Every structure is written in structure tokens, then in C-alpha cells.
Structure 1
Amino acid sequence: MSPISLIIAIPDRSLRRRLAQEVGGSPQIEVIAETHDLMTTYAEVEEREPMAVLISGQLARQPEFEVMRALFATLDVRWLVITERPDTGARAPDSPWGRSSDLFAVDTGAPASLLIETLRSLTRTARRPDRSSAPATGTRPPAQPRSNAPSLGHSNRFILIGASTGGVDALLTVLSAFPADCPPTFIVQHTGGGFGESLTRLLDRQCAAEVRPARDGDRIGHGQIAIAAGSRAHMRLAGGKPMRIVLEAGAPISGHMPSVDAMFHSAVPGAQRAVAALLTGMGRDGAEGLKALRDAGAATIAQDKATSTVYGMPRAAMQLDAAQISLPLQKIGPAILHACAKDDTGTGKRVATK
């Protein structure tokens, strides 16, 4: 049986080296890399595709870890958290392993024998000869194969999506429903600086359409998805066919840079062709912009409370009557496509929930 390939991601050098020596001394474990921060860890996981990652709770509690966790699920990588805090099972923002079945925590003082046995139990059946057929371990379903998504034809619509906390999994779920020739799509996702490119690569890996980072002056047409994440500029739409992106530096809007509100408000002139969705996230960013879009004739959707990791942004949108309909996450992608397939332009009227 081949040894378990392992990456150890711990900022504390002495603890990292000790664990590497103790765990790596077992013939059942092969330590293939040691890292001290999330950016380096992401790059190593993406390149080496280990069977497991041993990571510190300090790194796993960082908001940028959401992108890392989605990559782990995509690659079927198991991970084990070294933490001083017990696993309470609570849906607390700073305890991601307490609310997800693919995350596992052990105490900092756990002996090497326990770590090795836990790694063996987690990875014994995780890897198969053809990993592409293995189900993802996260809360979202695997993305549809690129060739299986139905074609919409060239709709006159365009799509706007805003998300924050919990948005990486949510975007993977929504975009998995999109065909390769989907309408032009523009996304703002709140994430830490430096993780925008990683998130873009992750989404492009899983989506039928092309996912690219938002760049100033780019024109986005059918089959293309532009995402602004982790940048120091707001993404605004400047119209045209294909639609043009303008990146605008300045102060945060609604507390964020880039801001969902900035993108939504910029699309108001073309609202009757817009389909906009506001997904899980903390705060209010996007709620007022969604309201402006609805008032101008756009089709608008908010994620429901039950499927939101944090019901902040969608709640604010519903309180403003900005969304025509509130939907569970799994239904949002198909609902967006259904709205895009309609011949009529938006009316701003409330859609009955089924």
C-alpha cells in the first residue's frame, strides 16, 4: 500500500518540524511539503495534490481558508486541524471544522500515533485509481461535466452575482448549473487579498464556462464569467456589446473593496436585461444595489436563510424588498438560467415561490 502523501501547514516552525519528524517517521506517511501560510499551502496543494493536509487552527480560522477548503473538496484532499480549541460542532465563523463533515480536528498535544491513525482512517478509501469519479467531500455537489450542461442559445441577458462568507461553496454550486455558452456573467466575491487568482482558477477548473479575473477594459461575452475578488478596485459595468468592465480604485463601498453594491449600481442602466443574485454573506453589501436593480426592472434573487452560511446580505436584501424571490442554494442556478431564457425584459414584480 502506498504511503499517505501529506503536507504540513503550520506557522510555528518548531511545531511544524517536530510533527514532520514524528509523523514522517512512519512508513505509512510521506511528508511532501511543509508550509507556514495559506498562500504557500494553496500553491503546494494545487501543484502536488496530496492525500491529506495537517493544518493549524490558526490558519484554518482565517477567512481566506474558505477558498482553500473548496480546493480540498475539489481534489478530494482530507485535512486535519491541529487546534487548541475543542470541536463543539457549532456553526461558528471561527470554527469551520465544527460545521462541516469533511473537516477533522485534533488537540495540539495529540501524540504522533494518534495523528497517523487518524490520517489512515480518513484517507484509507479516499483515493481511487480514477479520482475524477470520487465525490467531493464538501457540502456542495460535484460540478457538472463541461459537456453535459444544456445550451441556452445567445440570450440578450447578463448575470450579476454577489457573495461573501460561504460564497465559495455557493458559487461552485450555482455555477455548476451554467452551460458553456452561459450569458455574460459578473461576480463580486469578498475574499482576502491575493486569493482572487486562486479562486478564479478553482472556479474555472469546475465550471463549463470560462472563468477569468476581472480586468480593466475587458469585454465579457457569452460563455465567459468575470470575477472580482481580493482586488483593490471596484468592478463596474460600462455597457456595450460585449459588455465592458471598468476597474475603479477608491474608498470601500458598504465596507468592502471590491463591493457588490458598486457592481450592482453600475448595471442599473441595463437593468431590464439583468438577472442578479445575492448569496450568503455577512453585512449588507449588495442589498441596496439589488434594490436599485429591481426598481429599474431587473430579475432579482436572494439566497434563503436555511442554506446561507451567514444570512446577512440576503436578509438585508429581503428587508429592503430588493429580491423578487428567496431560494435555497440548489435552485438559484436553474432559476437564473430560467430568467435568462425569458423573452420579456424584467418587470420588477415579485415572483411566487413554489
Structure 2
Amino acid sequence: MNPLRVLIVDDSATMRRLIRSILDADHRLEVVAEAGTARDARDAVNTHRPDVMTLDVEMPNMSGLEFLKRLMKHRPMPVVMVSTLTQKGSDVAVEAMALGAVDCVEKPKLGGGTDNFAKLADTVALAARARVTVARPVRSSIAPQQNRRFRRICLIGGSTGAVDAIERILQSFPVDCPPTLITQHMPEPFLVSFAARLDPLVQPKVCLAQDGAVLRPGLVMIAPGGEYHLNVTGKTELRAKLYKGPLVSGHRPSVDSMFLSAVEHAPKIVAGILTGMGGDGAAGMKALRDAGAKTLGQSQQTCVVFGMPRVAAEMGGVEQWADLDKVGEELLRLCEAPVQMRVT
């Protein structure tokens, strides 16, 4: 198999050299060009036809975000954003993923080593195989129907490509939506920016989960990440629990951790699994379904990466499928279904 062709775009020559040294050491990848400006990047895309690009968030003259918008309009391709952990950098990186960037990697801190780039080659190699398209469904301006009777709690897990997917799903949720928890694989600062971005865009209240917060209608809580998983706890009144623990299924926050914590309440649960690499969430979804939860997977044809839903289906965890533009409404419909508690 021919190596995947990579274009590195960063205004720092030092950073370009560092990224090149890491990617060149991986037999799956071949760096075919570097660019320090958006103009040079445009020319390199046309000349070298790369399979995947790493793109700096903050660049002179034309920002990485503006360049990405133009790229996705005229020549869509897999892009991995490379960002600092400044608030501005995090905000722009999350917006970039909403525009179609496949993933985002943190830049190493000055003098702090290259640990942040430990999985850079894997991320770039996997991103190169992502499904990236020009056209995206038009967001509806019609307000979601309110005053529906939701009887269940909604749990959603996603990874690569799910920033855009989650935004679209929540735009179909009414202001009185079912209590909703979301675990999305991103570093902690990006999750802060993600929640802040979503809240004014959708009708329900969106925030980072706080330990002990009651799961209530109209509230969407996102796993804050960092050292914590987001779990479900409680007996009659369910609450969010921030669990400080090791990686689960290779991730923190982990979808499996969230799903498995809710198994004892499975008849009250609707679980959705979205686009993403790997298999996090598969074991938890299987356990939830076996215990009486309703489960839904994003369809292969609308996934950026059909990894997490595929593994969940192979394990028997996916009860039904929906295209992305229908996932939100299907989750709501399932949350309206009567709860039938199992007798033990």
C-alpha cells in the first residue's frame, strides 16, 4: 500500500520540522509538502494533491479557519487541526471541527516536551481515511416542537466528526428536551469551548457537567474531560457524577464509562452512538440494550468515521440506525416511549 500523502501547514518553521519528524518516522505516511501561509497551502494542495492536511489554527494574513472554509467549499479533504490551548485557539479549533475538520491535536507547550504529539501519526493516518464531503445538510430554522412528553434520559457518545453531528442533533431538540448527557472525545480546554459554542446555538441549556447536578428536562450536560469521566448516579433522582479514574476503552472521558454507569437504569435510558474512531461505547451500549435500554447508531453513510457505531453493532448493541439528519428526532421519539421496568 502506498503511504498516505501529508501536507503540513503551520507558520512556524520549528513546528513544521517537529511535525515532519514525527510523521516521516511512520511508514504509513509521507510528507509531500509544507506551507507557512494559506496562500502557499492552497498552491501545495493543487500541486501535490495530498490525502490529508495538518493545519495550524492561528496563521498570518488568512487564519486557519478562513482557509478551512474555502478548502471545504472547493476541495474538501481530511484536515487535522493543530492548536495551542489558548482560549482563542480552542474556540477556533472547535469551530473548525464544526466546519468539517476531522480532529484536533494540541500543540506541545514551549519547553514541555512532545507528549501532546504522542498520537499525532495515528490521528493523521486515521483521519486520511475519513469521509469528507462538500455538501452539508441545511440547518432548519423551524423551532423544534415543545411540550412533548419525554419519559427517558438521553445519553450520547461520539468522537471523530461528532462535533458537527452533536451540533446538528441538538438543534432538533426543543427547549424542554429530555435530560441529556454527552461524552465527546476531546481535550478538556476544547470541551469548555464546545459547550460555550453550543449553548447559544440551540434551545436547551448546554453546559459542562458538574458533579451532583440533577438530570432534568431542558438541560444538556457535556463531559468536562481532563481527569474525569461523566457517569450517571442515583436511585430515583438521577444525577451526574464526575468520576476521577483511569482511561476506559482508551479514553477519558469515555463513552463506555458513561453507558455502563447507567445500566441499572437501562429501561429509562436511550443511548445514541455517533461517528468516531475505535470502539469506545460498544461494550456499554451492548450492556444497556441487554438490560432494556433503547439504542441508536448513526448510519454508516453519514459517519465521518464508521468506527464506534460499527463496533457497537458487531457486539449487538445497536437496535436501530438513523442518518445524521434524523438522529435527533429519532432520539426524541425513543425518549417518548413508555418505560417498562423489568421485574427481577
If the length of structure 2 is used for normalisation, what is the TM-score?
A: 0.65
5+ long unaligned stretches in structure 2 = 1-8, 17-35, 41-54, 72-77, 84-91, 101-123
Deviation, 1:141, is 3.0
* Equivalent pair of 2:151/2:339 in contact (CA under 8 Å): no
Deviation at 1:242, TM superposition (A): 5.1
Unmatched segments (≥5 aa) in structure 1: 1-7, 23-35, 74-90, 102-137, 348-354
SS in 2 for 1:219: coil
Matches within 5 A, 1:1-354: 10-12=11-13, 38=57, 52-53=66-67, 60-62=79-81, 67-70=94-97, 93-94=126-127, 99-101=132-134, 139-142=136-139, 144=141, 148-239=143-234, 243-345=238-340
Per the TM alignment, residue 170 of structure 1 is displaced from its structure 2 partner at its CA by 1.0
Larger radius of gyration: 1
- How far, CA to CA, are the matches of 2:263 and 2:321 in structure 1? 21
Q: Tell me how far apart the structure 2 counterparts of residues 142 and 346 of structure 1 sit (CA, whole Å).
A: 37
| Mapped partners of 1:97, 1:261: distance in 2 | 23
Offset at 1:54?
A: 7.5
What CA distance in whole angstroms lies between the structure 2 residues aligned with 1:99 and 1:182?
Answer: 30
Distance 1:235 1:182 in 2: 19
* AA matched with 2:279: R
Cα RMSD for the two superposed structures: 3.8
- Give the deviation of 1:265 after TM superposition: 0.5
Q: CA deviation at 1:192?
A: 2.7
Q: Give the Cα–Cα distance (whole angstroms) in 2 for the partners of residues 293 and 345 of structure 1.
A: 14
Instruction: Give distance in 2, aligned partners of 1:190 and 1:197.
Output: 12
Between the two proteins, the alignment pairs up a number of residues equal to 263
**Alpha-carbon spacing, 1:54–1:343, altered in 2? closer, same or farther (3 Å):** closer
Do the aligned partners of residues 284 and 96 (structure 1) sit closer, same or farther apart at CA in structure 2, a change above 3 Å counting? closer
How far apart, in 2, do the equivalents of 1:51 and 1:265 lie?
A: 37
Provide Cα deviations, 1:277-327, integer angstroms capped at 9, x if missing partner.
001111110011001111111000111111111111100111111111122
| Deviation for aligned residue 1:93 | 4.7
Determine the C-alpha separation between the residues in 2 that align with 1:313 and 1:51: 27
Give 1:98 shift.
Answer: 9.0
Amino acid at match of 1:309: V
CA contact (8 A) 1:144 1:207 kept: no
1:152 CA drift (Å): 4.0
Q: For residues 66 and 227 of structure 1, what CA distance do their matches in structure 2 show?
A: 17
State whether residues 256 and 285 of structure 2, in contact with CA within 8 Å, keep that contact through their aligned partners in structure 1: yes
Question: What is the distance in 2 between the residues matched to 1:188 and 1:11?
Answer: 33
Matching residue's letter, 1:141: V
CA contact (8 A) 2:99 2:164 kept: no
**Maintained 8 Å contact 2:175/2:203:** yes
- CA distance in structure 2 between the partners assigned to 1:318 and 1:257 by the alignment: 22
Q: Judging changes above 3 Å, is the alpha-carbon distance between structure 1 residues 9 and 209 closer, same or farther for their aligned structure 2 residues? A: farther
Counterparts of 2:269 and 2:15 in 1: how far apart (Å)?
A: 54
Distance in 2 (alpha carbons) for counterparts of 1:297 and 1:19: 54
With over 3 angstroms needed to count, the CA separation of the structure-2 counterparts of 1:169 and 1:12, relative to structure 1, is same
Q: Counterparts of 1:299 and 1:236 in 2: how far apart (Å)?
A: 18
| AA of the residue aligned to 2:340 | T
Per-residue CA deviation, residues 199-235 of structure 1 (Å, 9 max, x unaligned), is 1112212211011001222223110000115432111
Q: CA deviation at 1:10?
A: 3.3
When normalised by structure 1's length, the TM-score is 0.64
Asked if the contact 1:230–1:258 (Cα under 8 Å) also holds between the matched residues in 2, the reply is: yes
* Percent of aligned positions that are identical: 34
**Given that residues 211 and 224 in structure 1 are in contact (C-alpha distance below 8 angstroms), is that contact kept between their aligned partners in structure 2?**
yes
Q: Structure 2 vs 1, CA of residues 152 and 279 (structure 1 numbering), >3 Å: closer, same or farther? A: farther
1:312 maps to amino acid: G
